[in-house]
Every structure is written in C-alpha cells, then in structure tokens.
Structure 1
Amino acid sequence: MFDIKWISANPEAFDAALATRGAEPLAASLIALDDDRRSVVAEMNAAQEKRNGASKLIGQAKAQKDEARAQELMAEVAGLKETLGQLEARERQLTEDLRAALSVIPNLPAQGVPVGEDETGNVPYFRTGESAETRPAKPNLAFAPKEHYELGEAMGGMDFETAAKLSGSRFVVLKGQIARLERAIGQFMLDLHVNEHGYTEVVPPYLVRDEAMYGTSQLPKFDGDFFFTPHGEGRLALIPTAEVPLTNLVREALLTQDELPLRFAALTPCFRSEAGSAGRDTRGMLRQHQFNKVEMVSITTPDQSDAEHERMLACAEEVLKRLGIHYRVMQLCTGDMGFGARRTYDIEAWLPGQNTYREISSVSVCGDFQARRMDARYRDANGKPQYVHTLNGSGVAVGRALIAVMENYQNEDGSISIPAALQPYMGAIEKIGG
C-alpha cells in the first residue's frame, strides 16, 4: 500500500519504478482520483461551515421573534444536511475507490534491485567476502541419481496414488521412515532458528480472516490462489504461509522502538491452490496443495530493515549448510519478485535427480508496504509514530528440504544416508531404506 501524498509529490519516480515491474503508469489516475476526493472534502467543509453559521442565525432570529427568518434558515439547514449526506457518501466512495486502486499495485523495488522481465533477469548473489567455496559442495555420485519420488515410492514411504484417492492431485501420503525424516527436518530447522538465531516460536491459527490476508498483500489481487472455508456470514482462508498470521501479530499495534526488532518463527502446514501452475511439476512433491514450512518473520525499524534482510538470509542459508546441501542464492529481478517485496533473495538447492537447482527458500524485505495495510507502527526516538518495516523468509520449506536430503544423500542401493544434523532427531540412525 502506498501513501498518495508521496505519489502526488513524486509522480515520475513512482511511474518509473512501476515500469521496472512491468506495470503501466498510474500516478496521473491516482492523483486525479485523490483530487476528486479532496475536492469533495472541501465542499463538505464549506457546507458544514455554512450549516453551522445558519444554525447560529436561527437562534438569533428566534430571539428577535422573527419567525419567517427562522423558518427560512431552518429550511436552509435542512437542505445543507441533505447535501452533506450526499457529499459524505461521495467521499466514502472515492476513498474506497482510491484504497482499492492502491491495494492492487505491487511494491516498488529497492535501489539496486536488478531490472528484468522474468527469472532470466535474476543474478547470483554473494555477500562481501563470501564465495562458492563457503557453501557445501555438490555430491560426487558415482551412479545415475534418482528423483525423490522414485526413491520414496521404492521405499514404500511416498504414496501418491492413495493421496489422489483421498484428495486429488498434488497431494502425497508420507509413511514410515520417510514420514519420520520429514518430521525430523522440520523440528531441526525450528530448533535452529529458535535456539541459535533468536526467533520466538509461535503456534499461530491456520485459518485467518480476509483482513489478515489483505494485511500481508495476498488479497485482493490473488484471491484465486488460496483455499477458503465458509465461516458464519463470511469466510476464513487456510494460510498459504505462516507469514500471514506471524506478520499480523503486530496488526493495528503501536510499538515502542525498544521492542524492535521482533522475530517470530513457526512450523505450520501451508495450503495453496497452485492456480496457474497446471502442467508444472506434476510428478513428486515439488508443487503441492498442502506442505509444511518453517517461516521466519521480522518486524523492525526502517533504518535496520536492510541489515535484518541479510541476517534473515544467513539464517536460512545456515539450514542448508548444516544439512550439507549444495545451494546457490539468486537476487530476484524486478519482474520476478513477489507482489509485496522490495528486494528478494531466493535460495535454490541442488537436486541431483533433476540435475538442476530448485527454490527452497525465498527471503524478502517489504519496507512499510505491509505495515500500511495493517496499520502497524512504532514510536521513534522522538516519540513520533512511524510505520514498521516487515520481512519474511522460508527457513525453509520442509517438503523441498526432504527432497533435497533424499536426492543428495541417496546411495546406489536406494537407501538414504541421514545427515549428521538430523541423526539426533532420527534416533541416531545413519541410514534408511535399501
């Protein structure tokens, strides 16, 4: 969500930034809509002032026993009351029209974000002093690696056929040692972020109101991408990510600067309709309607948000370093970033079975874009209310981490070695299957 005052003061910069995201110029139409609204407000104020003046004159006319003049003024006040009602209705409609127009505009990219139309414009990212050698190496497999679903089905731990009977496509039933491994991965990641990275563990609701989805910018633009269930006279959404409830923990809050940063983490199921992904990743667990994910959310001050973004990226990377999974980090270009992001880093894990990298985490800084939608603020050092900055990141997707572990730690006999970091969560066993 944007401040219309800022757009009015910077129309060319606003349109230029939108252009990098493939959007048409909108400043002129938004300013015109706001001008109409402000014009109506001016008419309301003038009418109210005139009404107040006429009301005072009624008292004077009655005191002077000038009933004719009093009746004339009363008729004028009645007319002004009707006019005010019409103007107030018009102002409410224009305010809602402006809010609706602003709510479907993507966030503006931060300075330095590469400009591009799609994922082909993304660029590799390394922090200062970092190199490829600081990340785990690719596994040196002496045999033709299999994909995760081949390994899982052969082991009897992945059942897509039964899941389809229960729920349809893009679901899976995990069983036995594979189910235990998936649970171990989630517990390991949550423990890491809570015990070592300083996040507060949260168990949030998995069903949220439209207002919460609006606050983190999933609605109204992407209404068709989610699952909803009727609730009373309205509906509730199944969370597509724990980002929604975690970020909304500060909804309509006025925090103190000393409280920030706030850091939350949760391990939750996520539900996505995957609208528009027909034909993509139809085999295996890469693109599911239901999956588990560890989510990290930070709430901070504007001057600390970029540093917090780098910190959050490092927290997500540490998961893959501990698991010994080779990965790369890509900085997303303007055309590939999510709707609410100012800057995004994607972590892509190496999958030997596919012989390619696949996204396993996305870490974004949103600036005050979500905070304006949620009315989430803090008092700065001068006591002035300011909007917080919000950040979110996968720390990481549990299902995709399971895929990465299975494919990177597979053995020629079909067994899967257990990374050392996960063995305490697996009863100290070193291998499953085979």
Structure 2
Amino acid sequence: MAPPYSLVYNILEKYIFNLHLKENNYKYIIVPNILNFKSFINSGQIPKFIKKLFIIRAGNKIKYLIPTSEVSLINFMIKKKIKSNYIPIKLFSKTECYRNEQLNYGAMNKNIIKQKQFNKLELMQFVDNKNSYRYLKELVKIVEKIIKNFKINYRIIELSKNNLSYISSKTFDLEVWIPSLNNFCEVSSCSNTENYQSIRTSIKYIKLNKNIEYFSIINGSGLAIGRFFLSLIEKYELKYIFKNILKKYKIF
C-alpha cells in the first residue's frame, strides 16, 4: 500500500487504537506473534485453525504464527487468579495476523478481503458469569460505534447454533458494505465463550464470599482494519476523509 492510502490507513488505525485505550478503558497488551502448539490448544483454536497455521521450524523446534491475537491474550492470562473487585478485566492488542487461506477466484477472495497477513485489533474481557451476556452486548456496541462514527452502512448478524464455533455460546458478526463487491463483509466477530476457555487455562476469580469461579471470556475484533479501510475509501474521496472525518474526530 502506497501513499496517500498508507497514510490514511495508519491514521485510521491510530484513531481506533486510542478509542479503545482512552474512551473504552481497555489496557493495551503487547503480545507475541509466534506461539507453541499448546497455546492454541489452551485457547481452543485447534482444530478450527489447524489447516490455516503458518509453521516456523528452527532445528527441532516448531512454532506457529498467530491467526488472531485472541490466542496470545488468553495465554497471557493463563493460571491467573484475580479478586472480583477488579472485574471486568479489559485487554486489547494490535497485531499482524497470519492465516494460510486457500484462495479461490471471485471478488470475496481478492486483495484486502482475504489475506494471508493482515492487521487486527483484538478486544477481550474477563467477566463474572452472571453478567457475561450484558458485557457481550456492550462489546458489540463498542465496535458498532466505530462504524457509525464514519457513517458506513453495516449490519449485525447473530449466528445460528449451526454456524457457531464450538467454543462459543453466542456470536454476533458485524459486517460493513463494500460497494465494489456489492456485498457486506465481516469486520468484527464478537463472542461469549462463557468459561470454556478459562477452564482450559485455569483463569479464575475470587468472589467476595471467597468462592472461586472460572471467568467468562468475551472477545471480539475491534476491528479488522483492512476491510474497514476498504469500505471507507470506497464510500468517500480521500480529500473528504481528511477534511470532514479525520479532523472531526481530531485524528489528524
């Protein structure tokens, strides 16, 4: 990506980053992009991503590039036991993601829509079980607000049970309109995995009555920058983006 598009892309990413940090009160965590196989087992991403992982071999050691920093954030919290007065714990990361996608012909497989490497901000909350679905709705609203700020056409889809990942109890996909595709494209998927991941990784919280429970874990893309950027530049001219959008939100 070359100027001036690369500049707009970078400014957009910084705006969303600062939004999560300052307005949404998430704590920024720098996480590794290379993990061992056990890390993927811990987060429940195997077998989902087993055919899409990029493998790194160094001598007898084998490591893997992350397909999403959800894996890294889960393992960052592994075996932690936290007092309930610190709930909710809100973390986010900004990483490159790597997926060995098998691309076919067609518009939905071109360029920025499906990539083997892409940028993504990942949001994660560790919450009490009683209020987990309320926190899921709040997460969806956070991503929705970003899209609304730029007046991009979008829709929210609640996945049916048949389409849910086996680790998720409820998932909402947020999709934006891409004019050149004449179609909507997913920019965020927000899920409640309840305590499935926390049991696998022994992430617990101590209640006021001293009882110990496993966290419910909420995660979502906040959001896939490339796809959102594409919807933005297809709707607006670059001059309009600079003068009317970036300045309005004091991004530039």
Q: CA deviation digits over 1:360-379, x for unaligned, max 9?
A: 11111100111111111112
Q: Which has the larger radius of gyration?
A: 1
Q: CA deviation digits over 1:139-182, x for unaligned, max 9?
A: xxxxxxxxxxxxxxxxxxxxxxxxxxxxxxxxxxx111111111
Q: AA paired with 1:239? A: I
Q: AA paired with 2:98? A: F
Structure showing greater relative contact order (alpha-carbon pairs closer than 8 Å, 6 or more residues apart): 2
Structure having the larger proportion of residues in strand: 2
Q: 2:91 aligns with which of 251, 255, 264?
A: 264
Task: Give the unaligned 5+ runs of structure 1.
Answer: 1-173, 429-434
Matched, 1:422 2:249: no
Matched, 1:278 2:104: yes
1:290-305 equivalences in 2 (<5 Å): 290-305=117-132
SS in 2 for 1:223: coil
Instruction: Measure the CA separation in 1 of the matches of 2:160 and 2:35.
Output: 31
Output the aligned Cα RMSD: 2.0
TM-aligned CA deviation for residue 333 of structure 1: 0.7
1:18-29 equivalences in 2 (<5 Å): none
Q: AA paired with 2:22? A: N
Instruction: Measure the CA separation in 2 of the matches of 1:427 and 1:390.
Output: 31
Matched, 1:347 2:171: no
Matched, 1:253 2:80: yes
TM-aligned CA deviation for residue 235 of structure 1: 1.8
Q: 1:205 aligns with which of 20, 32, 35?
A: 32
Contact 1:180 1:426 in 2 (8 A): no
SS in 2 for 1:417: helix
Instruction: Measure the CA separation in 2 of the matches of 1:257 and 1:320.
Output: 32
Matched, 1:225 2:52: yes
SS in 2 for 1:224: coil
Q: 1:207 to 1:309 in 2, by over 3 A?
A: same
Q: 1:349 to 1:335 in 2, by over 3 A?
A: same
Contact 2:11 2:251 in 1 (8 A): no
Instruction: Measure the CA separation in 2 of the matches of 1:176 and 1:294.
Output: 22
Instruction: Measure the CA separation in 2 of the matches of 1:261 and 1:426.
Output: 29
Instruction: Measure the CA separation in 2 of the matches of 1:311 and 1:426.
Output: 24
TM-aligned CA deviation for residue 424 of structure 1: 7.6
Task: Give the unaligned 5+ runs of structure 2.
Answer: none
Instruction: Measure the CA separation in 1 of the matches of 2:11 and 2:166.
Output: 32
Matched, 1:186 2:13: yes
Instruction: Measure the CA separation in 2 of the matches of 1:271 and 1:296.
Output: 18
Instruction: Measure the CA separation in 2 of the matches of 1:186 and 1:265.
Output: 14
1:19-98 equivalences in 2 (<5 Å): none
Contact 1:184 1:426 in 2 (8 A): no
Q: AA paired with 1:263? A: K
Q: CA deviation digits over 1:190-214, x for unaligned, max 9?
A: 1111110110112211111222211
Q: AA paired with 1:422? A: L
Structure 1 residue aligned with 2:141: 314
Instruction: Measure the CA separation in 1 of the matches of 2:175 and 2:45.
Output: 23
* TM-score, normalised relative to structure 1: 0.55
SS in 2 for 1:176: coil
TM-aligned CA deviation for residue 231 of structure 1: 4.5
TM-aligned CA deviation for residue 423 of structure 1: 3.9
Structure 2 residue aligned with 1:118: none
TM-aligned CA deviation for residue 425 of structure 1: 9.1
Contact 2:49 2:67 in 1 (8 A): no
SS in 1 for 2:112: coil
Q: AA paired with 2:116? A: H
Q: AA paired with 2:173? A: D
Instruction: Measure the CA separation in 1 of the matches of 2:158 and 2:35.
Output: 31
TM-aligned CA deviation for residue 221 of structure 1: 5.0
Instruction: Measure the CA separation in 2 of the matches of 1:298 and 1:203.
Output: 16
Contact 1:406 1:416 in 2 (8 A): no
SS in 2 for 1:193: helix
Q: CA deviation digits over 1:334-391, x for unaligned, max 9?
A: 1222232110001110122222211111111100111111111112222122111111
Matched, 1:324 2:169: no
Structure 2 residue aligned with 1:234: 61
Q: AA paired with 2:42? A: G
Bigger shift: residues 292-301 or 243-252? 243-252
Q: CA deviation digits over 1:88-139, x for unaligned, max 9?
A: xxxxxxxxxxxxxxxxxxxxxxxxxxxxxxxxxxxxxxxxxxxxxxxxxxxx
